[in-house]
Chains A and B, each alone.
Chain A
């Protein structure tokens, strides 16, 4: 894989970039009348911020090539429109299928005296994750439950993403306490252990925004 071959090439000295300068030139590249290769001119426009070397700025051939690219990008912008009602309908159809293929996990005992009440692992895990999430600076990831021995006891294994403004053992203790409390009060489940693994650091920033189209080179 040529992953180290980043498209953000180091800017060379102006004028030193001839058409044969690229390490692996395209076999079907087009050489403009000014001597630059079309792929090179377009690649430069792709860089953010676009490389603005003196040649490209003053050359009419490069200017034409860039105008063609800009026109193409302007037309491409019209392809981004999506109809919101259809989007909602699509999401509804997907979730209808997903819910019909629900993964419930194993059945786990609740701590009722007769020991004949059961709950699915996925339903219990949802409640326990929510309990963990109520602790500021903590978010639950995976949550697995398994019977602990023959009785109604259940062991919980949970991964956690946690902020670092508090020592991790302290925060994990708060989460454990919240999980144990919710298991007893909300579910009526006898949780015997809550094993917590902190797998990542919770950063205070919101989730990354969806990919925005690159700013186009014109304007």
Chain B
């Protein structure tokens, strides 16, 4: 190292695109930065999609490992984030479709949501509302659930949601509307 500062800047300062190129070359450290950077939002996404932390962790883990294997063929046409969300959403949809149908609601005393998104600072009322929302989310059609979670929990724009869910913005808008309508009906007692 004859020039410059002598010490390379930390990898965590690099943008996704560059880290993904390096990871595609086989650089695990660059991939580790991408994992740290994206695991939190992906886990929140998967938790909402699947309603269970354990399943969500499995889905996100599978998605990252799958991304690592597919990186050499990934041509960086989409943003890494978009690509990664797409893999995770697909993984969640596959996991859900493989599971047995859920128990009828009255057979479940309290939803597992308290585990999935427990936040100890929540008041009892907020926790109950969150549980009701989780239950209502579980009832939604999978495509609607994915669009709603990406929009309202992750705050992503329609265009990106359309890319992540292999559809167009008009469909995203329609699914979002239907999801909101079902969810707000389910949430009416909590208002």
B153 touches A29 (CB 8 A): no
Cross-chain pairs A/B with CB under 8 angstroms, 15 sampled: A6-B169, A7-B169, A71-B190, A75-B129, A75-B187, A79-B130, A79-B133, A95-B28, A99-B28, A101-B69, A142-B21, A144-B25, A161-B18, A177-B3, A214-B152
- Of the listed stretches A51-59, A85-93, A188-196, chain B binds A85-93
- A36 to chain B minimum Cβ distance, whole angstroms, is 14
- In whole Å, how far is A119's beta carbon from the nearest beta carbon of chain B? 13
Against A, the Cβ 8 Å flags (1 = close, 0 = not) of B153-191 are 111111100100000111001100110110110011011
* CB pair B14 A129 closer than 8 Å: no
Evaluate contact between A86 and B153: CB separation under 8 angstroms.
no
Indicate if the CB atoms of B174 and A69 lie closer than 8 Å.
no
Supply 6 further A-B pairs (C-beta < 8 A) apart from A1-B168, A97-B68. A38-B177, A72-B184, A79-B130, A79-B134, A83-B118, A94-B64
- Verify B27–A122 contact, CB threshold 8 A: yes
| B133: chain A residues within 8 A (beta carbon) | 72, 75-76, 78-79
Query: Cα distance A73–B184 when bound, in Å?
Result: 10
Query: In the complex, how many residues of chain B place their beta carbon closer than 8 angstroms to a beta carbon of chain A?
Result: 83
Per-residue A-contact encoding for B47-84, CB less than 8 Å = 1, 0 else: 11000010001001100110011001000000001000
Given known pairs A211-B155, A213-B153, the reply for A90 and B61 (CB within 8 Å) is yes
**Do B15 and A208 touch (CB < 8 A)?**
yes
B68 near A24: Cβ-Cβ < 8 Å: no
Chain A positions within 8 Å of B178 at CB level: 28
Report if B13 contacts A (CB, 8 A).
yes
Q: Indicate whether A136 reaches chain B with its CB closer than 8 angstroms.
A: yes
Which 5 A/B pairs are nearest by Cβ-Cβ distance? Answer: A213-B155, A103-B26, A133-B8, A134-B4, A122-B26
A118 to B22, CA, bound (A): 22
A181-219, CB < 8 A from B: 181-182, 200, 206-208, 210-214
Q: Interface size class for chain A?
A: 35 or more
A105 an interface residue at 8 Å Cβ cutoff? yes
When distances are taken between beta carbons in the complex, the residues of chain B under 8 Å from A75 are 126, 129-130, 132-133, 187, 190
Chain A contact residues, CB within 8 Å of chain B: 1-3, 5-7, 24, 26, 28-30, 38-39, 42-43, 67-69, 71-76, 78-83, 86-87, 90-91, 93-95, 97-99, 101-105, 121-122, 125-126, 129-131, 133-136, 139-144, 159, 161, 174, 177-178, 181-182, 200, 206-208, 210-214
Query: Min CB distance, B58 to chain A, in Å?
Result: 10
B190: which A residues are within 8 A, CB to CB?
71, 75
Contacts of A83 in B (CB 8 A): 53, 118
Contacts of A126 in B (CB 8 A): 27, 29
Q: Nearest residue in A to B1 (C-beta to C-beta)?
A: A134
Residue of B nearest to A120 (CB): B26
Q: Cβ of B27: which chain A residues have Cβ within 8 Å of it? A: 122, 125-126, 129
- The one of B8, B39, B181 in contact with A87, judged by C-beta atoms closer than 8 angstroms, is B39
In-complex Cβ contact of A86 among B53, B168, B183 (8 A) = B53
Of B72, B129, B132, B169, the residue contacting A2 (CB under 8 A) is: B169
Minimum CB–CB distance for A85 against chain B, Å: 12
| The one of B1, B57, B149 that contacts A90, using a Cβ cutoff of 8 Å | B57
Residues of chain B within 8 A of A94, CB atoms compared:
35, 39, 60-61, 64-65
